[in-house]
Amino acid sequence: MVNFIQITPFLTVENLERAIAFFSDILGFEVTFRLPDYAFVRRETVGFRLLEQSEGNPAPVGNRRFAYYIDVRDVDTLYAELKPKLDTLPKEDVYGPVDQSYGQRELLVLAPDGNLIAFGQLIEK
């Protein structure tokens, strides 16, 4: 029996409203649950738990910048969908789609809090 369903990582963010806007307005995620300092966003089978940094929710100790990798079936189709909104971001915050030497085609997007969201597709040989 398959027991694992998905991974839904926490992202500690400085500004919850800005993070929600980025995930929903730019990347096309839907807010499915919301509290004053927490939101759960989902797109298809991928979810993120956004937790606003505050006295009760301090930032993790150490380097809190992370990269989150989302495997997709067609990164170019996703890029075409997101491109009009990605064009509103600083140019240096978006990279790709590009074929990588390790056999993945990737689109990299820097979130407002400095976390890297990577979308990748296996390059078929």
95 phi, psi to nearest 5 deg: -140, 125
> CATH number for the domain including 103?
3.10.180.10
The pTM score is 0.78
Cis peptide, bond prior to residue 84, ω within 30 of zero: no
Q: Compute the distance between CA of residue 84 and CA of residue 98 in angstroms, rounded to an integer.
A: 18
Does residue 116 fall inside a structural domain?
yes
pLDDT, residue 56, reads: 62
Q: Does residue 45 form part of some domain?
A: yes
**Which pLDDT value is given to residue 53?**
80
pLDDT of the residue at 60 = 54
Grouped pLDDT means (10 residues each) for the chain, 125 residues: 76 93 98 94 94 68 67 94 97 94 90 88 87
CA distances from 117 to 4, 75, 110, 124 (A): 22, 13, 6, 22
Q: Which residue has the tokens 């301090």?
A: 58
Give the total number of structural domains in the chain: 1
Q: Which domain holds residue 82?
A: 10-54+65-122
Rg (CA), the chain: 15
The confidence score (pLDDT) of residue 40 equals: 94
pLDDT at 67: 78
Mean pLDDT taken over the chain:
88
